[in-house]
Structure 1
Amino acid sequence: MRGPAWPIAALLVGYPVWWALGFGGLSVVVLAVPMAWILWKRRPIKLPKGFGLWMLLLAGYLISALMLDEMPPGTYGDLGAGRVVGYLMRLSLYTALLIMVLYLGNLTEDELPQLRLVRMLGVLFVTTVAGGLLGILMPTLQFTSPVERLLPGWISGNSFVQNLIHPTAAQTQKVLGYAMPRPEAPFEWANAWGSNLSVLLVWFVVGWWVYGGRRRRSAAIAMCALASVPVVYSLNRGLWIGLGLAVVYLIVRVGRTRLALVAAASIGAAVFMLSPLASLVGQRLDNPHSNDIRGFTVSRTIQAAAHSAVIGYGNTRNALGNHRSITTGKTTWCPDCSHPPLGSDGQLWHLLITQGFTGAALYVAFFLGAIRRYWTDRSPIGLAGVLVMLLVLLYMFVYDGLVTPLSLYLISFALLWRNQAHD
C-alpha cells in the first residue's frame, strides 16, 4: 500500500514475514517508529474519547518499575536481567499500541478506508487459519529465526522472549491425558492463536460476507468451514465460549436477520455434531486438567497483588509450590524446580500482579467505556467492534492480552473511533 497507511498494511498483511523473521508480536514496536514520525509531522493529534484511561494505564506501568526488586509473600526469585527485560518489552509494547491507535485515528478515510482496514484484518484471519492447519499437519515444525540468532543468549534465553522470537507451529501438551499438538502459528502461544482467531473472524465476516459479493461470500463460507478444524483441535475452551458469545450477541442485536442467524447456527451445530470433530470436543470437556492449576495461580496472584494493591510489582513473579504441594516448584532443597509465573493465566491477573488493582480497574474501565460509547452504532463495523470489546472482557479472565491479542483489541477500538468520526 502506498501513502501513509503502509505501516498498517505491513503489520497485518505482512505478518507472516515478521513471524518468520522472529519479530512476530514485536513487529508493532518496529512499525511504531514510522507511525510516530508521521504523527509528529501531523500535529495537532486527535485523541479518542476515553483514551485518557489508556494513557493512565501506561503511566501506572512506568511507576510500577519501582517495585521490580520487591517480592510478595509466597513467591521466589531475585531481580535479574530476565525480569528487567520482560518489563522493558511490555513497556515498549504498551507504548507502541498507544502510538498505533492514535496513528489509525488520525489517518483520513481517503488515506485508509474503513473497509480496506477491515479486509486487511480478514487477510490476517486467512493467515491464522493457515497457521492452525500447519500446526495440525506439522506440529513439530520450528526453526531459529534471524532475530534469535542475532540476540545475545542472556536475552534470547529468557522464556518470555523465547516465545516471541522462536517460531513454532504448535504447542504439544497433555490436555487429554496424552500428548496433543495445539496450533499456535503464527502467534506466540496456543491461547493467543485462539483469542486472535475469534477476533479476526469477526472482521473477516464483516469484510467478506457483509460487504462482499457472491464470490467473496462463497469464499467466506469455505474458509469458515476450514477454520472449524483447527478451532476444534486447538482444544481451546475459551475460544469456544467466545464463539458462542458472538453467536448469541448477533442473534440479539441483529433483528432483521435473526431467524436466518438462528437457522444457520442450528444447521452448523447439527453438521458439527455429526462430524468426527464432535468427539474431540467431548474429550476436552471431560478433561478440564487446567482448572486446578488456574485456581491455584489466580488465588496466589490475588494474594500477592494485595501487598501492592496500587502500583503492583512491575512484572510477574513465580509462586512457591503448585496446586498439589508446596514442595512442587522451587524450594530450598530443589532450587532448579520452577512454576509458571503468577499472572500468566489471563490479562486481568497479569494486570493485578504487574500494576495492582488500579491497573486492572483502568483496563476494565477503558473497554467498558468503549462499549457504552459505541453501543448505539448499529453499522456492521459498529456492531462488530462492540462485539470485540465484549470478547476482550471475557478473555481477560483466561487469556493474556500481550502480545498480539492486545494489538487486535486496540485496532478494533480504533475502527470504532474512526467509524464514529467519519459518520
Structure 2
Amino acid sequence: MSLPAPRTIPRAAPPAVLPPVDLSRPRHRHRHRHRAGRGAWPIAAFLLGYPVWWALGFGGLSIVVLAVPMTVVLWRRRPIRAPKGFGLWALLLAGYLISALMLAETPDGTYGELAAGRVLGYLMRLAVYVSLLIMVLYLGNLTHDELPQRTLVRWLGVLFLTAVAGGLLGVLAPGFAFTSPLEMALPSWIGGNPFVNNLIHPTAAQMQHVLGHAAPRPEAPFEWANAWGTDISVLVIWFVVGWWTYGGPYRRVAAVLALAAAAVPVVYSLNRGLWIGLGISAAYLLIRGARPLLAGAVAAVAAAAFLLSPLSAIVGQRLDNPQSNGIRAFTIAATARVAASSPVIGYGNTRNAYGSHRTVTTGRSAWCVECGHPPLGSDGQLWLLLISQGFAGALLYVAFFAGAVRRYWADRTPIGKAGTLVMILVLLYMVVYDGLVSALTLYLISFALLWRNAARTSDLGEAR
C-alpha cells in the first residue's frame, strides 16, 4: 500500500522593497489640476496673500493671526499626528517658556533694566514659536487631496515672484515706504519699539554704508534686508521645483525670465550670506541633481553672463568692503561670554553690551556716532538662541534641523531633495541670519513638505 505523497507548502515571497514615490505626480489623469480643498485656505492666505499682509503691517506676523484658524482645523480632526523629531521643537518651546524667569537679570558686561520693550520682544517671539508649531502640525494633518504637494510648492513659487518684485522695488525706488494700518493703530510705546517697527513699517529697502557710502539693500516684502536674502534663497529652490521641474513649456519660459529678473536685486542686496547660500545650492544641484551635465552647463552660462555684466563690479566692491566683520566679531564674542553665565536657560531675550568693536563707551551718542552696536544675539539665530535660551536651546535647534537632514536624505524625489537642501541652508544661515519671523516660517513649511512626503510614501507602502 503506497503512502500519499507529502504536500509541499510554497514559501512566501520576500517583501518587496518599495522605491521612493514621487508624490507630486498625479496618480490619476483627472487629478492633474491639483486643486486644494477648503481646509487649506489659511496657508493659501499666508503665501498668496503675503503682499496684502505686508501692506497692512503684519508681514511675517500674519502667521500668528492665521494660526488661530489652523488651530480650529486641527481641533476638528483629532487625533493629531506629529512628525518624528518634533519633540525637539516642543522642548525648544518649553525651554523658551522657562527662560522668562531670567528676563529681569542683567548679566555682567551688559546694561539695561527690565522694561516693556524687553517683555514685548519676548512675547512676540513666543507667539511666533507657538504659531509655527501649530502650522507644522496643521500642514502635516491635511490630506493630500485637501492640499497636494505640488500645489503647496507652487504657492511658495508665487511668494518667490512677490519677493523678486519687492527686490526690484527696493533697487528702483529705495525710498518707498508708508505707514501701515497696524502701525497707526498701535500706541507709540509699542509701534516705536525698533524691533516692532521693523516688522510693521513697510519699506522697500534699507540704506546702509556697506560699500563705504550709502547704498540701498532691498527688503520688501520682508522685515529687513538680511531677511529678504534668506527668504529668496529658500523660495528660489521651491520655485525651480514647482515651475521648472514640474512645469510645462510656458511655466518654464516664465521661470527663466523670473530668475533673470531676480539676479538684479540678488546682487544689489550686497548680501554675502545669500551669495554663499546660492553657491551651496548650485553645488548641491550638481551633486544630487538628476542631470548633472545639464545643471553644470546652465551654471556655466549663468556665470559667464554675470561676469560679463556690470553686476560683477558691484560684487567685487562688496567683497572689498567687509564693513560688518568687526561688528559681528564683537557681538558674537560678547554673546558667547554672556551666554556662558546662564548656559541652560539663557536670559529670555537679547541684551545690550557695554562698548563696541570701536570703543568702550556704552553706545551711540552725539559725540560718538560710530559707537553704536546691535543687541547681543542679533547676528544670527544661533546667537539669539544662545543668549535667550542658553547652550541647551541652541543644541535643540541644531539637533532638530540636522536630524531632518539625516532622516530625509534618502528621499530622492524632487521635493525630498529640495527640502533637504533647505534644511542644510538652515544650519548655514543660523550663524549669520536671524530666523524670525519670515525665514523660520519658510524653514518649517519646507520641513512640513518633507514630513508629508515621507508620510504619503509610508501610506502608499501599507496600501500595497
TM-score category, normalised to shorter length: over 0.9
Task: Name the TM-score, length of structure 1 as normaliser.
Answer: 0.98
User: How far apart, CA to CA, are the structure 1 residues paired with 2:397 and 2:106?
Assistant: 24
Specify which of 261, 278, 285 is matched with residue 295 of structure 2.
261
User: How far apart, CA to CA, are the structure 2 residues paired with 1:422 and 1:217?
Assistant: 27
The residue type paired with residue 285 of structure 1 is L
User: How far apart, CA to CA, are the structure 2 residues paired with 1:264 and 1:173?
Assistant: 33
Specify which of 214, 223, 226 is matched with residue 179 of structure 1.
214
Equivalent residue number for residue 413 of structure 2: 379
Q: Please state if 1:33 is matched with 2:68.
A: yes
Equivalent residue number for residue 246 of structure 1: 281
User: How far apart, CA to CA, are the structure 1 residues paired with 2:202 and 2:292?
Assistant: 42
User: How far apart, CA to CA, are the structure 2 residues paired with 1:287 and 1:310?
Assistant: 38
SS in 1 for 2:38: coil
Cα shift at 1:271:
0.7
Asked if the contact 1:141/1:169 (under 8 Å) is kept, the reply is yes
Cα shift at 1:41:
1.1
Q: Could you give the per-residue CA deviations for residues 133-160 of structure 1, whole angstroms, max 9, x where no partner exists?
A: 0001110111110001111111111111
Equivalent residue number for residue 126 of structure 2: 91
Q: Could you give the per-residue CA deviations for residues 332-351 of structure 1, whole angstroms, max 9, x where no partner exists?
A: x99xx753100000000000
Specify which of 325, 340, 360 is matched with residue 359 of structure 2.
325
Q: Where do 4+ consecutive residues of structure 1 move more than 4 Å?
A: none
Cα shift at 1:194:
0.2
Q: Please state if 1:24 is matched with 2:53.
A: no
Cα shift at 1:38:
1.0
Asked if the contact 2:353/2:362 (under 8 Å) is kept, the reply is no
Aligned residues: 419
The residue type paired with residue 151 of structure 2 is R
SS in 1 for 2:340: helix
Q: Could you give the per-residue CA deviations for residues 69-111 of structure 1, whole angstroms, max 9, x where no partner exists?
A: 0011111111000000000000000000000000000000000
Equivalent residue number for residue 63 of structure 1: 98
Cα shift at 1:328:
5.2
Spell out the pairing of 1:261-410 with structure 2 (5 A cutoff): 261-327=295-361, 329=363, 338-410=372-444
User: How far apart, CA to CA, are the structure 2 residues paired with 1:339 and 1:79?
Assistant: 20
The residue type paired with residue 354 of structure 2 is L
Task: Name the TM-score, length of structure 2 as normaliser.
Answer: 0.89
Q: Please state if 1:107 is matched with 2:142.
A: yes
Structure 1 residue runs without a partner (length 5+): none
User: How far apart, CA to CA, are the structure 2 residues paired with 1:391 and 1:106?
Assistant: 26
User: How far apart, CA to CA, are the structure 2 residues paired with 1:286 and 1:170?
Assistant: 22
Moved more, 71-80 or 102-111: 71-80
Cα shift at 1:207:
0.1
Specify which of 124, 130, 135 is matched with residue 159 of structure 2.
124
The residue type paired with residue 134 of structure 1 is L
User: How far apart, CA to CA, are the structure 2 residues paired with 1:160 and 1:98?
Assistant: 22
The residue type paired with residue 341 of structure 2 is H
Equivalent residue number for residue 451 of structure 2: 417
Q: Could you give the per-residue CA deviations for residues 102-121 of structure 1, whole angstroms, max 9, x where no partner exists?
A: 00000000000000000000
User: How far apart, CA to CA, are the structure 2 residues paired with 1:278 and 1:2?
Assistant: 46
Cα shift at 1:329:
1.1
User: How far apart, CA to CA, are the structure 1 residues paired with 2:196 and 2:362?
Assistant: 25
Asked if the contact 1:129/1:230 (under 8 Å) is kept, the reply is yes
SS in 2 for 1:301: helix
Give the percent of matched residue pairs that are identical in Structure 1 and Structure 2.
Answer: 72
Structure 2 residue runs without a partner (length 5+): 1-35, 458-464
User: How far apart, CA to CA, are the structure 2 residues paired with 1:211 and 1:2?
Assistant: 21
The residue type paired with residue 136 of structure 2 is V
Cα shift at 1:61:
0.2
The residue type paired with residue 369 of structure 1 is G
User: How far apart, CA to CA, are the structure 1 residues paired with 2:360 and 2:239?
Assistant: 46
Equivalent residue number for residue 199 of structure 1: 234
Spell out the pairing of 1:3-22 with structure 2 (5 A cutoff): 3-22=38-57
User: How far apart, CA to CA, are the structure 1 residues paired with 2:295 and 2:364?
Assistant: 52
Specify which of 20, 23, 47 is matched with residue 82 of structure 2.
47
Equivalent residue number for residue 73 of structure 1: 108
User: How far apart, CA to CA, are the structure 2 residues paired with 1:402 and 1:109?
Assistant: 28
User: How far apart, CA to CA, are the structure 1 residues paired with 2:276 and 2:244?
Assistant: 23
Structure (1 or 2) with the larger CA radius of gyration: 2
User: How far apart, CA to CA, are the structure 1 residues paired with 2:104 and 2:435?
Assistant: 24
Equivalent residue number for residue 168 of structure 2: 133
User: How far apart, CA to CA, are the structure 2 residues paired with 1:262 and 1:328?
Assistant: 51
Q: Please state if 1:225 is matched with 2:260.
A: yes
User: How far apart, CA to CA, are the structure 2 residues paired with 1:314 and 1:269?
Assistant: 44
Cα shift at 1:191:
0.2
Cα shift at 1:262:
1.0
Cα 1:68–1:330 shift into 2, 3 Å: farther
User: How far apart, CA to CA, are the structure 2 residues paired with 1:4 and 1:343?
Assistant: 38
- Point out the structure with the larger helix share: 1
SS in 2 for 1:144: coil
Q: Could you give the per-residue CA deviations for residues 152-203 of structure 1, whole angstroms, max 9, x where no partner exists?
A: 1111111110000000000000110010000000000100000000000000
Cα shift at 1:2:
5.2
Asked if the contact 1:320/1:330 (under 8 Å) is kept, the reply is no
Specify which of 200, 204, 216 is matched with residue 165 of structure 1.
200
Cα 1:267–1:309 shift into 2, 3 Å: same
User: How far apart, CA to CA, are the structure 2 residues paired with 1:85 and 1:16?
Assistant: 25
Asked if the contact 2:54/2:222 (under 8 Å) is kept, the reply is yes
Cα shift at 1:302:
0.1
Asked if the contact 2:102/2:347 (under 8 Å) is kept, the reply is yes
The residue type paired with residue 284 of structure 1 is R
